[in-house]
Each structure stands twice: as C-alpha cells, then as structure tokens.
Amino acid sequence: MSTVRTKDLLEHFNLELVAGKDGIHREITTSDISRPGIEMTGYFKYYPKERLQLIGKTEMAYFMELSDADKKDRAINLCTDITPGIVISRGMDIPEALVEAANDSGVPILHSPRKTTRVISRLTNYLETKFAPFTAIHGVLVDIYGVGVLITGQSGVGKSETALELVKRGHRLVADDSVEIRQEDYDSLVGNSPPLIEHLLEIRGLGIINVMTLFGAGSVRSHKKISLIINLEIWDQKKQYDRLGLDEDKMRIMEVDIPKATIPVRPGRNLAVIIEVAAMNFRLKRMGVNAAEEFSERLTTMIKNEKDETE
C-alpha cells in the first residue's frame, strides 16, 4: 500500500496551497473524504478528523452566517493535529478565521476552482487507487482484443515465449514475470508491471528484450483489468482435461474470483493462437454466446428426438 501525503494532492491536482504550509507532509491514512456539514453546527462528537475534509458551497454558506466567535470555534475544532488537510471547492473565498486556525495548527488548506462533485470524485478515485489491496503474482499479463489475460504456470513452461508470439500478432504486453495486482473495487483487479521491468520480456536463450523498442509503443500498455486467467501446465497423460468447456473454473486473487482455463502444453500446440481464441471466446460469453452450451443443447435435442422416434 502506498503512502499518500497532502503534498501529493498538490502535485497531482489543480490545487492551490492557501494556508497551513507546515503540514503538507501530513499522511493521509484513508480514502474516505468527509464533508463537515453537521460539524459546522458545532457538533463534533463523531467528527472524523483523520479524513481529508472537503468544504463545498453549502458548508461555506452556513459557516459565513455564523458569528465571529462561532466561526473561530468551528475553525479551531476543524483543524486538529491529525487532520491531513481541508479542500475548499468552487474557488470560494476562504474566511480569515479558517486561515488563521489552519496556520496555527499546521493543517493545509487547498483551494480548488472546480465544482464540489468533481473535486470529491477525482480525489476519491485517486485515493482508492492508492489504498487498494495489493499483491504480486508470477506470470505474464497481456491485453488480447481488450481482454486482460493473466498467463500463469510453472517456471520454464513457456509463458514469456507465448507472450512474445501474442505481441507479434498485434496484442499488447502489460507485464512479464511479475505482475503487480491491486483490487480497485470489490470485483475488479488491475494488473501492472513493476517499474524495474516495465516493457521487458525475458526469453531463455536470448535474454532480456525491450518490447516497446522492438515492436513500437502500440505493443505495450501500463496497466489492464484482469478478466481471464490461462494456466499453462505440462501435458499429463493421466489427467482428464476439459474438452467441452461447460465447467468454468475460477481462481481467487485476494477477494475476487476470476475465470480460469487450464491449457496443457506439449510440442506442436500453438499456445498463442489457443490463448487468442480463449480471449475471443470469453468476449462472446460476456455477450451471451456460449458455444459449449449450444452444443450441449443440440446434443440433448438430438438424443430426445431419436428416443421419440424409437418409441
């Protein structure tokens, strides 16, 4: 999990530091953002002071109607020793009482010209991404026809070579060898490459190659949502492999179940083409077209018809 500080918001968004410059290195510990509406009335019993505070038009209008003594009281209570910052939206004028309290306590006040809903949406998305649960998996992530396919398997099974063939066929490499995965939503996993090996492929016998240099900028991308897992394994004569595709296996990564297919590897099999077709078939299934189920229905109908004819 990344460490986020108030100064990071200044660097990533169109924000102006108005007061409390001594506190720009305060750490933001949660992605939740608070709009202190009830606090403006003086009720601070459940004030979430550890959150980033966002004051919009409604909160500011109420604050401006308070007496000078109440303004000072509310400002002092808003600016605690652990509050990471206060964001004022819509380019509104900032009351002197709030500026003084922020400077005294070292709580940064950030000024934004944007609308409140847009500010809170962008800040929330940014913080959710930074605080998303994180893990790393040994494998290769490729974007195939818009489907993020995570190729897994034991070392030496041919994952990188298959990824190279897929790139040659016009698909895009996201990560090789180690895939960093973060859970951005309850059902969404996004993978990317560690910065050290970004755009690189390791091919045994050749060594390290730079995919972007060899095949151009269109052959790589920085991150991709993982939709399908293809597990490569050495062909086992004693194992029964799925030949119809009716049973859908899943693999759980953190709290998300991702569809998984196991492809046996042996000489003569074109793995790149098989994985490419698997990605296209996955897209068809999401569109409501399932070839395996259609075949099963045809077979059931044929058996039923033949049974009726014999009776």
Q: What is the pLDDT of residues 49-62, one digit of tens each?
A: 999 999 999 999 99
Q: Is 160 annotated as a binding residue?
A: yes
Q: Which CATH class is domain 134-295?
A: alpha beta
Banded model confidence at residue 303, pLDDT cuts 50, 70, 90 = confident
Can you name the residues that pair with 173 across neighbouring β-strands? Answer: 142, 220
Q: Helix, strand, coil shares of the chain as percentages rounded to 5? A: 35, 30, 35
pTM for this entry = 0.75
Q: Average pLDDT, whole number, for the chain?
A: 91
Position 1 pLDDT exceeds 60: no
- Would the annotation count 154 as a binding residue? yes
Task: Quick: pLDDT tens for 223-234.
Answer: 999 999 999 998
The pLDDT of residue 299? 77
What pLDDT was estimated at residue 106?
A: 95
156 annotated among ligand-binding-site residues: yes
| pLDDT over 90 at 213, yes or no | yes
- Residue 19: closest CA among 140, 111, 141: 111
Cβ atoms of residues 55 and 88 within 8 Å: yes
> Is 159 among the annotated ligand-binding positions?
yes
Beta pairing partners, 131: none
Report the top-level CATH class of 4-130. alpha beta
Whether the pLDDT of residue 85 is over 90: the answer is yes
Give, in degrees to the nearest 5, the angle at Cα 284 between 281 and 286. 115
**pLDDT tens digit sequence for 150-159:** 999 998 898 9
What are the catalytic residues? 138, 159, 177, 243
pLDDT surpasses 70 at 244: no
Instruction: For residue 297, give every residue at least 6 positions away whose Cβ sits within 8 Å of its Cβ, in sequence order, or none.
Output: none
Residue ranges covered by each domain of the chain: 4-130, 134-295
Structure-block tokens of residue 232: 């490569």
Contacts of 97 (CB under 8 A, 6+ apart): 68, 71, 72, 75
Examine the pLDDT at 18 and tell me if it is beyond 80. yes
* Residue 153 assigned as binding residue: yes
Closest CA to 156 of 204, 198, 208, 200: 204
What is d(CA 151, CA 100) in angstroms, rounded to the nearest whole number?
A: 56
